[in-house]
């Protein structure tokens, strides 16, 4: 029997047929790239170039600012045209470095140099990963080197490689596993080496049998790595759910996977780690699925960071019937009002949707569907009731902060209530309230 | 033993002070807005009722009631019936209750100031809470004439405690309902106390169902 | 209650008493009732004893308890609490009027901390505290946006509060600095002084007490508390470039610097494409109002005169 996580979950229409047969394609660098210095969770990087500077491809243009921070590299060679304060799609205001491509494709010093993968120490791997600016590429964009350096008091005994790709529409991880199985597995071995772990499981959902075959073939000589086929269920790609499904361990609320001895990495991250270690290639491009009913030629692309979404839409052809643009998958992605925003390290997909269901939120029916499907066993209905009444002091007790905003409840709600949006708002409210409480205590 | 269990169930459910006898409605409506507050109020009422029952029994038994253990009868002798000071019941009981409430108030002010602030005026109002006075008077009526003083005392204290427990039960139920009411779309004219009274009335109707418990 | 022993119970016929200097001694108190003799001890003495004894006992008990559970309470706290308005609006930044009273007595808040109470309350509190209250100017909340007719740039389907909408790309309006229009400010106003008129907030300055709740509630920070005597305000906060602002909003500040040039008191500056007033210097002369090409700067004088809240009336005629 195939494994899956224990509680909750839903089955949204997969819609992967649009792009799953499209081989990965490298996108030519655009005229202009826009690189926000904050593409990850943690402190924004510090800009170290000035307007007018000439930069080479792979050159550091913003350096890490603290431990939970990563540098940003130029994804093209050319001249820094401007540095502007703009708002990222996630609502963070930070420096955006705009580089004009000179078309020369000059590589910065040391970038692209081959390195012997078998001969690097764990310490070296961590340093390379940090300097390459690699973050978790499943969407959360958490700096990878932090996840490779667990505290000494928490021994790690298992690495999970996340090839689940449970979001509907998205297929770039699928293609990556299929086409570059060897590289992905090599990246996984580097992760295991950096953590000093002997055992790894690669989790793949049953709707990608070809990727499963490819990964099994690539790991057949390696006793420490097994590949596991999982029942298709959303949100299996979420860290805690994947740990439950593959290792049968439950991460308690407010704790991290490393508290149960597990580290989870995405296949695209493993691939990026391999590229960084073997070819000294920093993270300057990433796989992106451009799909949806509004796209004429859905595709899986390898896109230089900083390319604008508009360029991708023009390249793949966008239908005038498009009503909604979403960055990421349809469940957890963010709708964006205009396409002039760059592809960043956390962008796994661009969706152009033509059919948006009529959206008329009604009152709560108290059917309990949201509670039934919540993979974290959250009391979604209770949360929303408290949030609507503005009872901020109750939020924490209702585990509002533990919600990962997977959208399962919103998907399942027969009354079409924007539950996740309520929770997002509650998190912001709670943060403001806590700050106020702290301030009050001081006076 | 079954006597005592029946007595407890009867005073908590069948003859609940708030919902069957309609005593002590002031704090019931006033302090049932939040569960945390009503727990504090319930605990205070349980304490005052139990203690008041015990102390009033002692006062009644040794000083007021025309029984053979009446101190004045022992000291001065004469006719037992002539040593009947029960006309003092009301004033003496108020004295006892007021003292106990003062004690609780001082205790809360020192030990749990937030609860003291939250209960506000309703805390001193327990003094005039008819449920407390009611339980004390009811005790005398029900058990004052029992021959065995031990049994009389035990039942009195149990009835006092049960009365408090019944109060706590319904104020907790009520505050749970009212916390939910806060989140619902109540017509503006009914917001606040009116809808609370309607709920209390419905709860009282529901509690009438317990009246059938005794007859089977 | 009292068992009948004769025809008249309180029918004292005679009694004798001899009072010595220090004690009251009742030597013979005889009560003559028609049928038989009854001594007063029977029904007067025990009640006195009961009440006296119990009173003494409980009094002592409470005395001991009050020593054990002693809490020092400053009498000024309750006096200040009485002086405060008691609406618990939270304008002082504390939990309520009770909390403010405590804070004032403990010295962590000023006597003028209650903004809605204004000068009169400040004077009362200052009286309790034995200090002189500084003169406070009456303030009102001023909305720094006038963009009633700003179009949407996307269809917003989420939770209909400004706070939630602002989390999504800064709200659905074309101008990301201006009013979103879901009325978070009107919802929090405890004085019924803010209303949504056609989806845009309007301050009723006659009712506004400058409690500052709207200032906190607005996710765009569009409200400011400004003394009532200041009559000229910029109704825009957009830091977008002039062309961008103009595209989004007909009444937004385009940063043309005309106001900066015309101001005789050097009270207006253009910073980041937006006119900013220095209210210390501004005399509300209204010259910039006439110059402003977009009508962003507005003179509140006529409106406040009509409402009768300006010029500010004071009891003793002083300004």
The arithmetic mean of pLDDT across residues C80-87, rounded, is 84
The arithmetic mean of pLDDT across residues A124-152, rounded, is 91
Do the chains contact at A443 and C153, CB–CB below 8 Å? no
Alpha-carbon distance of C123 to A158, in angstroms, equals 70
What are the structure tokens assigned to A412, written together?
């399942």
Q: Give the per-residue pLDDT at C89.
A: 76
Using 50, 70 and 90 to split pLDDT, how confident is the model at C29?
Answer: very low
Determine how many CB atoms are found less than 10 A away from the CB of residue A393.
Answer: 11
Query: What torsion do the CA atoms of C203, C207, C209, C211 make, to the nearest 10 degrees?
Result: -50
User: What is the percent of chain A where pLDDT is above 90?
Assistant: 73
Alpha-carbon distance of A68 to C90, in angstroms, equals 38
A325 bridge partner residues = A336, A352
Using 50, 70 and 90 to split pLDDT, how confident is the model at C43?
Answer: low
Using 50, 70 and 90 to split pLDDT, how confident is the model at A247?
Answer: very high
Using 50, 70 and 90 to split pLDDT, how confident is the model at C319?
Answer: very low
Which contacts of A62-66 are long-range, i.e. CB under 8 A and separated by 24 or more positions? A62/A35, A62/A37, A62/A95, A62/A97, A64/A130, A64/A133, A66/A42
Q: Is C66 on the interface with B (CB under 8 A)?
A: yes
Q: Give the per-residue pLDDT at A399.
A: 93
Q: Give the per-residue pLDDT at C5.
A: 45
Provide the 8-state DSSP code for A57: B
Tokens 């709560």 sit at which residue? A364
Is the pLDDT at C84 greater than 60? The verdict is yes
Do the chains contact at C158 and A421, CB–CB below 8 Å? yes
Q: Shortest CA distance to A176 belongs to which of A348, A2, A311?
A: A348
Q: How many helices (H) and strands (E) does chain B have?
A: 9, 0
Q: Give the per-residue pLDDT at C138.
A: 80
Biggest CA-to-CA distance, chain B: 69
Residues 6+ apart with CB under 8 A from A14: A168, A207, A232
Cα–Cα distance list, A431 to A401, A420, C171, C197 (Å):
10, 17, 20, 31
Q: Give the per-residue pLDDT at C111.
A: 82
The arithmetic mean of pLDDT across residues A376-391, rounded, is 90
Q: Shortest CA distance to C293 belongs to which of C241, C263, C255, C264?
A: C255
Alpha-carbon distance of C211 to A152, in angstroms, equals 52
Average pLDDT over all residues of chain A: 91
Provide the 8-state DSSP code for C280: T
Could you list the beta-strand ranges (E) of A88-238: 93-101, 158-163, 200-205, 225-230
Alpha-carbon distance of C9 to B7, in angstroms, equals 41
The number of residues making up chain B comes to 216
**Closest chain A residue by Cα to residue C153:** A337
What are the structure tokens assigned to A404, written together?
């990962």
| Pick among A383, A385, A397 to test the B interface (most B CBs inside 10 A) | A385
What are the structure tokens assigned to C214, written together?
């709207």
User: Which stretch of DSSP H or E encloses residue C274?
Assistant: strand C274-277
Alpha-carbon distance of B82 to C36, in angstroms, equals 14
User: What is the percent of chain B where pLDDT is above 90?
Assistant: 26
Q: How many helices (H) and strands (E) does chain C have?
A: 11, 12
Q: Give the per-residue pLDDT at B215.
A: 54
Q: Give the per-residue pLDDT at A254.
A: 87
Q: Shortest CA distance to A43 belongs to which of A63, A18, A22, A14?
A: A63
- Contacts of residue C58 in chain B, CB cutoff 8 Å? 95-96, 99
Model pLDDT for residues C175-205, shown as the tens digit of each residue: 989 999 999 999 988 888 999 998 899 999 8
pTM of the model: 0.77
Is the pLDDT at C1 greater than 60? The verdict is no
Tokens 């301030």 sit at which residue? A439
Angle, vertex CA B186, rays to CA B182 and CA B188, nearest 5: 110
Alpha-carbon distance of B48 to B130, in angstroms, equals 12
Residues 6+ apart with CB under 8 A from C254: C242, C243, C245, C246, C273, C293, C294
Beta strands C16-19; C24-28: pairing state: antiparallel
Is the pLDDT at A230 greater than 70? The verdict is yes
**Closest chain A residue by Cα to residue C169:** A91
Q: Give the per-residue pLDDT at C142.
A: 93
Neighbours, chain A (3 or more CB pairs < 8 A): B, C
- The count of CB pairs under 8 A between chains A and B is 7
Whether the CB-CB separation of A298 and A174 falls below 8 Å is answered with no
The arithmetic mean of pLDDT across residues A65-82, rounded, is 93
Q: Give the per-residue pLDDT at C23.
A: 44
Using 50, 70 and 90 to split pLDDT, how confident is the model at C32?
Answer: very low
Q: How far C225 CA lies from chain A's nearest CA (Å)? A: 20
- Contacts of residue B180 in chain A, CB cutoff 8 Å? 385
**Closest chain B residue by Cα to residue C98:** B117
**pLDDT higher at A34 or B110:** A34
Is the pLDDT at B214 greater than 80? The verdict is no
Average pLDDT over all residues of chain C: 80
Q: Among A2-6, A139-143, A214-218, A234-238, name the one with the lowest average pLDDT.
A: A139-143
Model pLDDT for residues A295-342, shown as the tens digit of each residue: 999 999 999 999 999 999 999 999 999 988 999 999 998 888 888 899
3-state SS, residue C196: strand
Using 50, 70 and 90 to split pLDDT, how confident is the model at C39?
Answer: low
Model pLDDT for residues A55-72, shown as the tens digit of each residue: 999 999 999 988 899 999
Alpha-carbon distance of B81 to B114, in angstroms, equals 50
Model pLDDT for residues B87-129, shown as the tens digit of each residue: 888 899 999 989 988 888 888 888 888 888 777 777 787 777 7
Whether the CB-CB separation of A35 and A285 falls below 8 Å is answered with no
The arithmetic mean of pLDDT across residues C1-22, rounded, is 42
User: What is the percent of chain A where pLDDT is above 70?
Assistant: 100
Q: Give the per-residue pLDDT at A288.
A: 95
Alpha-carbon distance of C291 to A299, in angstroms, equals 56
Q: Give the per-residue pLDDT at A202.
A: 95
Is the pLDDT at A164 greater than 70? The verdict is yes
Q: Is C65 on the interface with B (CB under 8 A)?
A: yes
Is the pLDDT at B171 greater than 60? The verdict is yes
**pLDDT higher at A312 or B180:** A312
The answer to whether the bond into A72 is cis (omega within 30° of 0) is no
What are the structure tokens assigned to A95, written together?
């420096």
Q: Give the per-residue pLDDT at B107.
A: 86
Whether the CB-CB separation of B81 and C44 falls below 8 Å is answered with no
Do the chains contact at C170 and A91, CB–CB below 8 Å? yes
Q: How far C141 CA lies from chain A's nearest CA (Å)? A: 21
Q: How many helices (H) and strands (E) does chain A have?
A: 13, 17
Query: What torsion do the CA atoms of B194, B199, B204, B210 make, to the nearest 10 degrees?
Result: 180
Is the pLDDT at A187 greater than 80? The verdict is yes
Angle, vertex CA B174, rays to CA B29 and CA B163, nearest 5: 80
- Residue B53 backbone dihedrals phi, psi, to 5 degrees: -60, -50
3-state SS, residue A206: coil
Residues 6+ apart with CB under 8 A from B210: B13, B14, B16, B20
Residue C252: alpha-carbon gap to chain centroid: 34
Model pLDDT for residues C203-253, shown as the tens digit of each residue: 998 888 888 889 989 999 999 999 888 899 999 999 888 888 998 999 999
Angle, vertex CA C142, rays to CA C139 and CA C146, nearest 5: 165
- Residue A304 backbone dihedrals phi, psi, to 5 degrees: -65, 135
Q: Among A124-138, B56-70, C84-98, C157-171, name the one with the lowest average pLDDT.
A: C84-98
């Amino acid at each position: 029997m195939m494994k899956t996580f224990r509680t909750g979950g839903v089955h949204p229409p997969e819609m992967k047929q649009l792009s799953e047969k499209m081989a990965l394609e490298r996108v030519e660098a655009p005229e202009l790239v826009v690189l926000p210095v904050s593409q990850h969770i943690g402190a924004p990087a510090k800009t170290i170039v000035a307007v007018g500077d000439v930069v080479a491809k792979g050159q550091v243009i913003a350096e890490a600012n603290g431990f939970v921070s990563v540098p940003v590299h130029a994804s093209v060679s050319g001249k820094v045209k401007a540095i502007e304060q703009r708002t990222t799609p996630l609502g963070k205001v930070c420096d955006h470095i705009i580089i004009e491509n000179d078309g020369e494709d000059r590589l910065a010093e040391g970038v692209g140099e081959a390195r012997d993968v078998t001969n690097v120490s764990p310490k070296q791997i961590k340093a390379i990963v940090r300097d390459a600016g690699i973050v978790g590429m499943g969407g959360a964009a958490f700096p990878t080197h932090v996840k490779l350096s667990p505290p000494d008091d928490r021994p790690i005994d298992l690495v999970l490689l996340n090839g689940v790709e449970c979001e509907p529409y998205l297929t770039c991880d699928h293609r990556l596993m299929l086409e570059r199985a060897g590289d992905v597995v090599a990246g996984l071995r580097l992760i295991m080496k950096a953590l000093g772990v002997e055992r790894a499981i690669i989790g793949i959902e049953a709707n990608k049998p070809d990727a499963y075959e490819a990964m099994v073939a690539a790991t057949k000589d390696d006793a420490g790595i097994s590949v596991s086929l999982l029942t298709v269920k959303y949100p299996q790609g979420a860290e805690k759910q994947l740990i439950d499904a593959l290792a049968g361990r439950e991460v308690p609320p407010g704790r991290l996977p490393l508290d149960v001895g597990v580290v989870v990495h995405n296949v695209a991250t493993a691939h990026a780690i391999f590229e960084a270690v073997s070819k000294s290639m920093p993270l300057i491009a990433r796989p992106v699925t451009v799909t949806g009913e509004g796209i004429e030629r859905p595709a899986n692309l390898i896109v230089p960071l900083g390319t604008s979404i508009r360029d991708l839409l023009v390249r793949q052809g966008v239908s005038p019937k498009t009503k909604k643009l979403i960055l990421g998958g349809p469940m957890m992605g963010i709708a964006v009002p205009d396409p002039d925003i760059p592809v960043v390290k956390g962008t796994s997909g661009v969706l152009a949707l033509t059919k948006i269901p009529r959206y008329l939120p009604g009152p709560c029916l108290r059917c309990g569907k949201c509670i039934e499907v919540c993979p974290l066993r959250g009391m979604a209905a209770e949360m929303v009731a408290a949030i609507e009444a503005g009872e901020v002091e109750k939020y924490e007790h209702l585990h509002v902060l533990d919600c990962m905003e997977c959208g399962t409840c919103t998907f399942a709600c027969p009354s079409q209530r924007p539950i996740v949006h309520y929770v997002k708002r509650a998190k912001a409210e709670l943060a403001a309230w806590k700050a106020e409480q702290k301030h009050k205590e001081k006076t | 033993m079954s006597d005592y269990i029946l007595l407890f169930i009867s005073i908590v459910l069948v003859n609940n002070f708030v919902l069957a006898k309609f005593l002590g409605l002031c704090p019931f409506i006033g302090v049932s807005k939040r569960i945390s507050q009503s727990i504090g109020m319930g605990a205070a009422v349980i304490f005052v009722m139990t203690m008041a029952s015990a102390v009033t029994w002692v006062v009644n038994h040794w000083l007021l009631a025309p029984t053979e253990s009446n101190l004045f009868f022992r000291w001065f002798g004469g006719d037992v019936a002539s040593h009947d000071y029960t006309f003092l019941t009301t004033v003496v009981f108020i004295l006892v209750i007021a003292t106990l409430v003062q004690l609780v108030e001082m205790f809360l002010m020192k030990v749990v100031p937030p609860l003291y602030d939250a209960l506000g005026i309703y805390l001193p109002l327990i003094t005039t809470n008819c449920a407390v006075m009611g339980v004390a008077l009811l005790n005398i009526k029900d058990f004052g004439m029992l021959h065995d003083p031990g049994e009389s005392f035990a039942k009195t204290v149990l009835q006092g405690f049960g009365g408090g427990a019944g109060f706590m039960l319904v104020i907790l139920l009520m505050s749970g309902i009212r916390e939910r009411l806060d989140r619902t779309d109540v017509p503006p004219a009914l917001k606040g106390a009116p809808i609370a009274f309607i709920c209390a009335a419905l709860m009282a109707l529901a509690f009438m169902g317990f009246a059938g418990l005794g007859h089977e | 209650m009292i068992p009948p022993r004769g025809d008249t119970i309180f029918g004292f016929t005679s009694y004798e008493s001899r009072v010595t200097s220090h004690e009251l001694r009742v030597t013979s108190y005889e009560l003559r009732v028609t049928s038989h003799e009854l001594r007063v001890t029977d029904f007067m003495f025990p009640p006195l004893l009961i009440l006296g004894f119990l009173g003494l006992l409980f009094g002592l008990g409470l005395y001991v308890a009050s020593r054990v559970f002693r809490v020092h309470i400053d009498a000024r706290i309750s006096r200040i609490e009485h002086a405060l308005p008691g609406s618990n609006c939270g304008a002082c930044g504390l939990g309520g009027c009770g909390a403010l009273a405590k804070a004032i007595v403990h010295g962590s808040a000023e006597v003028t901390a209650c903004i809605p109470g204004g000068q009169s309350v400040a004077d009362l509190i200052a009286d309790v505290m034995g200090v002189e209250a500084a003169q406070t100017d009456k303030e009102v909340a001023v909305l720094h946006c006038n963009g009633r007719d700003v179009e949407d740039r996307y269809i917003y389907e989420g939770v209909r509060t400004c706070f939630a909408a602002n989390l999504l790309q800064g709200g659905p309006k074309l101008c990301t600095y201006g009013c979103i229009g879901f009325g978070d400010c009107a919802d929090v106003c405890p004085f019924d002084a803010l209303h949504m008129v056609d989806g845009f907030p309007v301050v009723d300055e006659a009712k506004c007490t400058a409690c500052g709740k709207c200032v906190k509630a607005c996710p765009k920070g569009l409200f400011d508390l400004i003394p009532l005597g200041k009559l000229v305000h910029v109704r825009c906060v957009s830091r977008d470039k002039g062309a961008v602002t103009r595209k989004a909003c007909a009444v937004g500040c385009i940063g043309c610097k005309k106001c900066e040039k015309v101001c005789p008191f050097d009270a207006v500056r253009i910073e980041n494409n937006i006119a900013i007033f220095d209210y210390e210097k501004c005399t509300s002369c209204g010259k910039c109002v006439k110059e402003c090409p977009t009508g962003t700067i507005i003179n509140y004088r006529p409106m406040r005169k009509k409402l009768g809240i300006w010029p500010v009336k004071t009891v003793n005629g002083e300004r």
